[in-house]
Structure 1
């Protein structure tokens, strides 16, 4: 039997999955690596740790599965977005990678806005946010000019790993869209943006499709990984683009809700000229000449984990969530906003912080727990409403990530979003999307849609309860008022944070 491998390069670990032609995951393995925070607001990693972890994970995958290396047709990647890797002409890394969750670049974001004005949204289709790549390049330009002067090209995390595996410099469109240097509509690097900041276009790597072959494994890499040097390597995509593929978001109206550490609402878009004025992200899809709209809640699952670890550390997650179904919608008049690390959509605000509104002495731990789940879901609905306001009808949403593992939460999503929620039979997220790119690139299927039909199967559907949906409509209106009512208070409190 033939197989493909999906490599998902995350922030804390790399995951590899071995997938057969029916889309079944035969084996999987993950390897963790460290995260460095050398200064407040900094978040960095050693790119070589990604390479070592990937090679170990690939070798373990082959060893544990017992398959012959010749059975692997190809592999592809999903990768954490936005992270800056600067390399010299020999491909050597010049400094630690600056990651997506590094927030040192506020001043550079303001510089981008002042310099480009409306041109930024017109060309790059996204606001200047600290997580994106161009602000990081400008930070290096201003603070480490000697490093930037040595740079041959900049790469994103998965592209650096692929360079080390194949010797090929390239970046796919879905990841390039998160740099603020891509003309998203025309799928070319923007000379206008680069020149505005005195950056040579040669700093930008060759652009390729996510399913395009970018080489084969170098001999020493093949030996280290346990694979053959003839193994085909495909470009891969941004983690959210690959998550969309892995959830079958491959057509108009198809929408996904992913709840992990952060929360993502993502909807397929075919109109390259759509301009939502930066209210949500607008990125290139892993499918050719397709796009996606994306809203982000920075602390979705993270809010739930924080609350449990702070107030119910002695309970398992199952125990912790066991009673939420017994609490009525609205948690007894208790509202939670998940702004505990700031927010992204629809409020790009680094100073805003979370809140519980409406606490009284009758509330129990279970009331608070349900309120946290509701607040996270209300936040994600704000992104859904922006997509709906663009003219899309959203009646069905595919749920992936931690938010797809609890039945009470799945039903809550159906009621709050007022849409059917679909849970998948085998949910591997971005890793499955990467495997699909390898399968399509290897010629297993005539299209990514055909691949999705073979690989992705729904398990359960949760339909909205009209009465609950009506209650949540009213509560959602109240939830939307909290940001405006607490913004100035949080700006003042920021001076007291240590």
Structure 2
């Protein structure tokens, strides 16, 4: 029996086909997510939902040799972003991604930004990019489509389309990611939604544990979509408890599973698919900070030598220079990599300190940015109380920002003082979605049983 897992990322979309017994990956495909739409608004980040659905179908078609043996499909997707859907299950808006900045725009009259005003009205922490902060702006500015009957995440939309349904259903992991959600109660705070002047009927219903969105035309069960952070955790760790996950991709996260609800200032408590919670610290930077340095180096090459360098080549060279700087040990630069602000203060800026003639080099700048990314993650680790940290025996690393960068791996080992194991699957979130779908479809009694069968020690 085979299980499919699909991950809808911001820049790429991937699918894995996994054996339910032993977890062997028998097929894997990735395509660029070319659904980004142009906008005259500098702060707007939108994508075309139907193009994303088309890419998913192209990936499924590419798995034709294995598809007849697939019994269930799991989906994970970029969190926080939303789109509007009509009563027939058709998109009536673009996908407003998690990078959309309308929530950070000032409302005027001294009321702060839209996100800040929503927080004051509701008592919930809702950052710009979260779906209901986006919706709040749209509501106040007359930009909610008249045909809209539901709002949902892109994962929910793809699950609905594959299952041939007309209304989306949200897993708590996705519902919590758009804001105004009680993680303790696994339900939207409807009073807060109404107090902010928003129509609560637009919220998609929240599914029960291990819910399915429906069945495809060829008889495959489609699990309701789960958040990519939770899916990546499932796909990266050997077991739910006792492992700290650090992920560096376009963004970055520090994640730890907890069986009970925890309130820890500075950390998010996110519902976990199938039960429990994920404690998460999520900087806005991560791999984007290293990409920013890569763009700077490319600009220097063009400006002074007219040289054009391939992205892969320049990243490889940056990693080599960072490794050399680490080995030479001339005094590390201290980078604050909050180049894109933080979730709580968009006005925070990045910085660099401890520059000397010896470390004013490209290699030390590369090493410094990598160190800054790790320092941001460690800031969240240090928020965890000892009773939760003491049982942690191992760290898992996922995301290309860690997988492809030995210096990042070494820095994490130094800071965490734990063994660091890299996730076996290169498509961690897609693999995790497949494992979850195996449980949701009834192939296993629960997620722990699915992980035990499908994860190799």
Counterpart secondary structure, 1:208 = coil
Report the equivalent of 2:357: 361
- C-alpha contact (below 8 Å) 1:249/1:267 kept by paired residues: no
Partner of 1:267: 256
Matched-pair contact (CA < 8 Å) for 1:331–1:370: no
Residue number among 108, 112, 117 corresponding to 2:118 in the alignment: 112
What residue ranges of structure 1 are gaps of 5+ in the alignment?
Answer: 121-126, 220-227, 459-498
Q: Is the 8 A contact 1:336 1:355 kept in 2?
A: yes
Is 2:64 aligned against 1:58? no
| CA distance in 1 between partners of 2:317 and 2:194 (Å) | 56
Matched, 1:285 2:272: yes
Q: CA deviation at 1:391?
A: 4.4
Task: Give distance in 1, aligned partners of 2:187 and 2:286.
Answer: 33
Give 1:30's aligned residue: 30
Q: State the partner residue of 1:483.
A: none
Task: Provide the C-alpha distance between the structure 1 equivalents of 2:158 and 2:229, rounded to a whole number of angstroms.
Answer: 18
Equivalent position to 2:281, from 269, 278, 295: 295
Superposed counterparts of 1:380-399, under 5 Å: 380-388=377-385, 391-393=388-390, 394-399=392-397
Map 1:135-174 to 2 at 5 A.
135-144=133-142, 147=144, 149-166=146-163, 167=165, 168-174=167-173
Query: Which residue does the alignment assign to 2:412?
Result: 413
Listed as ranges, the matches of 1:429-448 within 5 Å are 429-448=428-447
Aligned counterpart, 1:188? 187
Match of 1:18 in 2: 17
**Root-mean-square deviation (CA), in Å?**
2.2
Shift of 1:8: 0.6
Task: Select between 159-168 and 71-80 the one with higher mean Cα deviation.
Answer: 159-168
2-side partners of 1:457 and 1:412: how far apart? 26
Deviation at 1:202, TM superposition (A): 2.2
1:350: Cα distance to partner?
A: 1.3
Shift in Å, 1:34: 2.7
What is the distance in 2 between the residues matched to 1:191 and 1:41? Answer: 29
Q: Cα deviations across residues 421-476 of structure 1 (Å, max 9, x unaligned)?
A: 12233342110111111222233333322322333345xxxxxxxxxxxxxxxxxx
Q: Which string of whole-angstrom CA distances, capped at 9 and with x for unpartnered residues, describes residues 279-303 of structure 1?
A: 12211011x2211111112221122
Other structure's SS at 1:207 match: coil
Is the counterpart of residue 248 in structure 1 residue 246 in structure 2?
no
Cα contact 1:426–1:456 (8 A) shared by 2: no
Deviation by residue 1:362-403 (Cα, 9 ceiling, x = unmatched): 222222222221111111100111124674324421101121
Using the size of structure 1 for normalisation, the TM-score is 0.81
Per-residue deviation at 1:250? 4.8
Provide, for residues 180-235 of structure 1, a one-character-per-residue CA deviation record: whole Å limited to 9, x for no partner: 23221111222211221233332222211463222111x4xxxxxxxx2x111111
1:436 & 1:23 partners in 2: Cα distance? 8
Q: How far apart, CA to CA, are the structure 2 residues paired with 1:262 and 1:310? A: 19
> Match for residue 474 of structure 1?
none
1:5–1:333 distance in 2 versus 1, CA, 3 Å: closer
Aligned equivalents of 2:94, 2:424: Cα separation in 1: 39
Q: 1:470 maps to which residue?
A: none
Question: The residue matched to 1:322 in structure 2 has which SS?
Answer: helix
Distance 1:390 1:83 in 2: 34
Distance 1:374 1:183, change over 3 A: same
Give the Cα–Cα distance (whole angstroms) in 2 for the partners of residues 357 and 131 of structure 1.
30
Compare relative contact order (CA 8 Å, sep 6+) and give the higher one, 1 or 2: 2
Q: CA deviation at 1:240?
A: 0.4
Deviation at 1:178, TM superposition (A): 1.0
Give the match's secondary structure for 1:294: strand
Distance 1:447 1:421, change over 3 A: same
How far apart, in 2, do the equivalents of 1:173 and 1:334 lie? 41
Instruction: Provide the secondary structure at the position in 2 that maps to 1:341.
Output: coil
* Counterpart Cα distance in 1 of 2:442 and 2:94: 37
